[in-house]
Amino acid sequence: MPIQWIEHKGEKILHIDVADLANDHAALNTNLQTLTSLLKAEPRNSVLALADLRNTNLSNNALMVLMRNAPFAAPYFRKSALIIEPNNARRILLDSFNMVIKRLPKRFSDLDSAKAWLVGDPSADEIR
């Protein structure tokens, strides 16, 4: 899972690319631990985060890994966005994360809309 800082309109965004994720929850867990270690160097409530989850295999194991790590990363996010397909099954799965984090990420169907929203463009098209 490549994790890298990108820039959009002069703002720094942490891009977490898990698009086309296979069912390798051990690698996912390792990469999420790397993410939480990286975030510890940042002030809480300061990071603009963007996760690309398109075409991922959200197996039970992957969901457990995500839920286990989400509470460690979430406090560092000022705003967070997900790029994901708009369907009911995904919506229900992702809504279940409100049990472990206070603010669910906004959902978008494309990278440009997500980046625009993160840097403050109110016209960005969120999916529901």
What residues does each domain of the chain span?
3-118
Fold of 3-118: Transcription Regulator spoIIAA (3.30.750)
- Cα distance between residue 17 and residue 33, in whole Å: 15
Per-residue pLDDT 10s for the chain (128 aa) are 588 899 999 999 999 888 877 767 777 778 788 888 889 999 999 999 998 888 777 777 777 788 788 888 889 999 999 888 877 766 666 676 666 677 778 889 899 999 999 998 766 666 65
- Sequence-separated (6 or more) residues with CB below 8 Å from residue 89: none
The pTM assigned to this predicted structure is: 0.81
